[in-house]
Amino acid sequence: MEAKCLTITYITKASYASLNGSDKEADNISSIKKIQMSDGKEYPYKSSQSIRRDLREQLAVLGEALSEAETAKQAKGAATTQGNPQEFIDDDLFGFMQADKETIKRTSPVRVSPLISLEPYRGELDFATNYMGVKAGGNPNIFESEIHSGFYRGTILIELDRVGVADATTYKLDLNNDEKKRRVSVLIDAIQNLWGIGRQSRFLADISPKFLCGAILTVKNPIFLECVKVNERSLVEISLIESTIKDFSNVIIDSALGERKGFFPQDTDKALAMGEAFIKMRSWLDDIYK
């Protein structure tokens, strides 16, 4: 069976965080992004665009050369990358679009969901004062930031059959299997070490996976996206995950559960230690990119 995708759904926790700023600001309050669910409550989230930026930056930390941004060629156009996926891993994995007389674009083979809190916003605020202008005769600048504590869930899906393969004739991309395997492997490393680059000066947060469900499939489907939950005792609902794996057994080639042992109130024997789970997922690439 030919593997079409690798999907990873993960749980992380922020104890005291302001993960992603909103564009709404009133009365000197810096708000966080939130979405209202069917229960009428607002749940904080970190946008998929922000997660993709975090992954790019982690690729650079891991030693990868990134495609530098270029000024838009059209008036009022958005800046873009060099659009060279043959040379740059981020142009390959995250795609690009260059709008000129001819539009050149690559659709990203890496699909990312927002990192959404499983617990509602409770109205907490961090109170702070900026004294930088006091010596110059100004008054202290008093401001507040919305903060949140709770579990967050996110999903990343990698279209394995599209990494290193062009989806248009307007750019060059034709990688051998060794380089395809290397690029997906380093992306998995970035996911394991996921770290948010925004709002970290005062709200340092570790958003790397604390629990994950990974699977390689013969179809492209983020099967765990809505099926990884934490109950009122702060334990992952393993039965829901097991039923999901059973329901999709006809398209799952292999799967792996991983957890940070000792992180949750009770470990589960159904999951590997987190490091072992990532090792297992990397081993899948040996058979995929032969």
**CA quadruple 197, 199, 200, 204: dihedral positive or negative?**
negative
Task: Let me know if 39 is exposed, middle or buried by CB neighbors in 10 A (0-12, 13-18, 19+).
Answer: exposed
Residue 24 tokens read as 């709404």
- Of the chain, the percentage scoring pLDDT greater than 90 comes to 72
Q: In DSSP terms, which residues pair with 216 in a beta bridge?
A: 6, 254
Give the tens place of pLDDT for each residue, 248-260: 999 999 999 999 9
- Give residue 123's pLDDT: 79
Rounded Cα distance, 122 and 55, in Å: 29
From first CA to last CA, the distance across the chain in angstroms is 14
pTM of this prediction? 0.90
Read off φ and ψ for residue 250, nearest 5 degrees.
-75, -15
- C-alpha–C-alpha distance, residues 104 and 86, integer Å: 14
The domains of the chain are located at: 5-64+106-122+148-288
Q: What is the pLDDT of residues 205-243, one digit of tens each?
A: 889 999 999 999 999 999 999 999 999 999 999 999 999
